[in-house]
Amino acid sequence: MEKHLEFPVHLFRPEGCNFNLNDYVSSLLDLNIQPPNMKNLITTNIEKYVKELNLLEEQKNCYIKIYKDIYQALNHEFIKNNQVLIDKFILEHISFCNKQFLFLQLSLRETFCASILEHAKIYGILPDSKTKYGNPKLEKLYESKNTEQVYLQLTEKLYMAAICNTSVHKVNEWMANKRHRVEMGSVPKKSIKRNQDYEDLYSSDSE
């Protein structure tokens, strides 16, 4: 039932997703130096995005409430005799519902990120910078695949973009650069910065 939702197991923490589009914009460009039409476009996109994101959240809560209402409507004696089975059924469907809506939220985020990026390339002022090679979270996902040439599923790209506060375009760039370095046998010695955030990432995942 969930085969197409291939979220990265070792890094699957939905609460770590950054759905704040202001954070993405700040990582992409300096809003203060943008032309007025670009500023207005970004503001309009963020307002639309927030409305649609809130609507998705409301719809998700409605679906989850349906399953809770089903549970409440069941005969108490029936629940008592089938507690394990019922709990399993309800929890599995709520989990599936959460993942389906997470996918929709991630897709919505990427749609607006991609739109802002494309408009920024045409109308905005972007910093002259290349994709940074060192990224602990993407490094960890790449290594977990246990193969030299790693190609991510769409759900993985959407998810990693959200937890790395970037876009799928940048994730694709990073993965292509990583595959090239692996193929050439030239991996920088300090591809990952061993800072406190990196240590926290690994220590929290081992708990």
Which domain does 177 fall in, by range?
Answer: 130-207
Whether 121 and 30 share a structural domain: yes
Among 102, 129, 156, the domain-final residue is 129
pLDDT tens column, 125-179: 988 765 555 688 888 888 888 676 788 889 999 999 999 999 999 999 999 988 8
Instruction: Give the pLDDT of residue 17.
Output: 92
Residue 149 domain flag: yes
Confidence (pTM): 0.79
Alpha helices in 13-35 (DSSP H): 21-28
* Percent with pLDDT over 90 in the chain: 44
34 and 85 fall within a common domain: yes
Does 8 score more than 80 pLDDT? no
Token pair in block for residue 188: 């920088």
Which of 33-47, 67-81, 128-142, 190-204 has the largest mean confidence? 33-47
In a shared domain, residues 85 and 134? no
Same domain for 142 and 187, yes or no, is yes
Is the same domain home to 94 and 153? no
Residue of 201 and 79 predicted with greater confidence:
79
- pLDDT at position 192 is 41
Confidence category of residue 95, pLDDT binned at 50, 70, 90: confident
Q: Which residue has the higher pLDDT, 181 or 205?
A: 181
Domains in the chain: how many in total? 2
Dump strand ranges (E) for the chain.
Answer: none
Domain assignment present for residue 121? The answer is: yes
Are 25 and 76 within one domain?
yes
Separation between Cα atoms, residue 160 and residue 17, nearest integer Å? 8
Range from 104-108, 119-123, 148-152, 166-170 carrying the lowest mean pLDDT: 148-152
Q: Is the residue at 48 inside a domain?
A: yes
Q: What is the mean pLDDT of residues 44-64?
A: 95
Residue 122 pLDDT: 93
Backbone angles phi, psi at 70, to 5 degrees: -60, -45
Question: How far is 77 from 4, CA to CA, in rounded Å?
Answer: 37
Quick one: what percent of the chain has pLDDT higher than 70?
Answer: 80
Inter-residue contact 71 to 86 (CB < 8 Å): yes
Evaluate if residue 104 carries a pLDDT over 70: yes
Specify the range with the lowest mean pLDDT, choosing from 5-14, 41-50, 104-113, 150-159: 5-14
| DSSP characters over 52-103 | HHHHHHHHHHHHHHHHHHHHHHS-HHHHHHTHHHHHHHHHHHHHHHHHHHHH
What is the pLDDT, as a whole number, of residue 130? Answer: 58
Question: Is there a domain that residue 204 lies in?
Answer: yes
